[in-house]
Structure 1
Amino acid sequence: MGILYSEPICQAAYQNNLGQVWQWVREDGNCINVQDGFNGDTPLICACRRGHLRIVSFLLRRNADVNLKNQVSKTKQNESLVRMLLNAGAEVNAIDCYGCTALHYACKMKNQTLIPLLLEAHADPMIKNKHGESSLDIARRLKFSQIELLLRKAS
């Protein structure tokens, strides 16, 4: 079943129901950036969580705020979604409650597709999380030598 949201537009975005999302936005344009009462997810975060590109695109065209954070501040790391969010002005070096950036998570996941994309958008590989670890440190610890090289060149 997945997640249940208290905000109907968040539930519709999570369930990939573009018709419902469109209807909610048409009725109240301010609901585009509403944050769910439970975890602070916005419709954009809900759509990203499930990789619903059409809904993400719809929300971005209507100026959804790409820099609003939920209580955890993580966005699913999908190349198309990340590219869309960066093109819409998402802060590439935004940190979550653990002090981690998207680059930290991409390194932890050994994601060879996202890391160059984030570096191209000027992600800072030297930002340290709450454990004092940078993306470069993570790549080194995981013995991810190709990415370690990329991160060194970018720092």
Structure 2
Amino acid sequence: MGILYSEPICQAAYRNELEEVELFLAEDPNKLNVKDSFGGDTPLICACRKGHIKVASYLLSREANVNLTNSKERTCLHYAVRRKFSFLDYLLIIILMPVLLVGYIIMMSRTRQNERLIRLLVQSGVNVDAVDYVCLSVLISNHSVKCQYI
């Protein structure tokens, strides 16, 4: 669902309908900073409520007033900074988080395995000053192993 606005340009901005917003402003440029009769939202506030960057950018390019407030004394910035995750966002996070966690665990396991192998090789007397054919040497410090060009 969503919010229903009495001003069609506000409704178009809220629904991310850039072409509609352009048409409304082509018909009447004074609609740029119009306030909706219910909550006093401007088209820019409506776009920022839903995080619609293209519509907000277009309205700003037309020099929409960013300091206008609605009936709650909020500007477009108030809505931009309090933008929340949608249900779909949370659903994707819940679904993907275990996958990312498994990936992270695998990465850390491989890193530890590689560190054990490097320690074993260093303890066995491998030449740590060896340079390969592109002058790449291995730099071993206390906590990390890096390759560097010399």
Structure 2 length normalisation: TM-score?
Answer: 0.51
What letter corresponds to residue 69 of structure 2 in structure 1?
K
1:26 to partner: Cα distance: 0.5
Q: Which has the higher strand share?
A: 2
What residue in structure 2 maps to residue 45 of structure 1? Answer: 45
Aligned Cα root-mean-square deviation (Å):
1.3
Partner AA of 1:16 in structure 2: N
Query: In structure 2, how many angstroms separate the alpha carbons of the residues matched to 1:72 and 1:78?
Result: 16
Name the residue aligned to 1:13.
13
Runs of 4+ with >4 A deviation: none
Amino acid across the alignment from 1:19? E
Match in the other structure for 2:25: 25
Give, in whole Å, the separation in 1 of the partners of 2:80 and 2:62: 22
2:79 corresponds to which residue?
A: 76
Distance in 1 (alpha carbons) for counterparts of 2:69 and 2:81: 17
Instruction: Name the aligned partner's letter for residue 54 of structure 1.
Output: K
**C-alpha deviation, 1:77, in angstroms:** 3.6
> Could you list the runs of 5+ residues in structure 1 that have no partner in the other structure?
80-155
Q: Alpha-carbon deviation of 1:12?
A: 0.1
**1:51–1:78 CA contact under 8 A, matched in 2:** no
Q: SS at 1:76's partner residue?
A: helix
How many pairs are equivalent? 79
One-letter amino acid of the structure 1 residue matched with residue 2 of structure 2: G
CA distance in 2, matches of 1:24, 1:44: 14
Extract unaligned runs of 5+ from structure 2: 83-150
Look up the match of 1:143.
none
Counterpart CA distance in 1 for 2:54 and 2:26 is: 17
